[in-house]
Amino acid sequence: MARIDAFEVEGVVLEVLSEKTCRVELANGHRLLGFFAGKGRKPHAGLAPGQKVRLELSPYDLSEGRMTVETETKI
């Protein structure tokens, strides 16, 4: 279930830090920490640098976001 006050943005994975976190850069140049939560971790184990992802950000903390959907790979 999505949070009501969260908003979605798209970004590109810069580096994979562990199996559930990675460094993501948004289109405006802002870099943040992205993570998968709960059941979302398993299907997204093959995350690679250069891949586009969609994140849910809280208006209260823009330094990290929850990755919700994996989009197509950037070549």
Residue 51 belongs to a domain with what CATH number? 2.40.50.140
The whole domain housing 37 covers 7-73
CB 23 within 8 A of CB 17: yes
> In this predicted structure, what is the pLDDT of residue 19?
72
Q: Phi first, then psi: give them for residue 42, nearest 5 degrees.
A: -60, -55
Provide the domain count of the chain. 1
Whether residue 6 has pLDDT greater than 70: yes
Residues 34, 17, 68, CA angle at the centre, nearest 5°?
Answer: 25
Q: How confident is the model at residue 36 (pLDDT cuts 50, 70, 90)?
A: confident
Dist. CA 46–CA 11, nearest whole Å: 17
**Residue 2 placed within a domain:** no
**Residue 48 placed within a domain:** yes
Per the model's pLDDT, the better-predicted residue between 38 and 25 turns out to be 25
Predicted TM-score (pTM) of this structure: 0.76
**Residue 1 placed within a domain:** no
Whether residue 2 has pLDDT greater than 80: no
> In this predicted structure, what is the pLDDT of residue 1?
47
**Residue 29 placed within a domain:** yes
Whether residue 68 has pLDDT greater than 60: yes
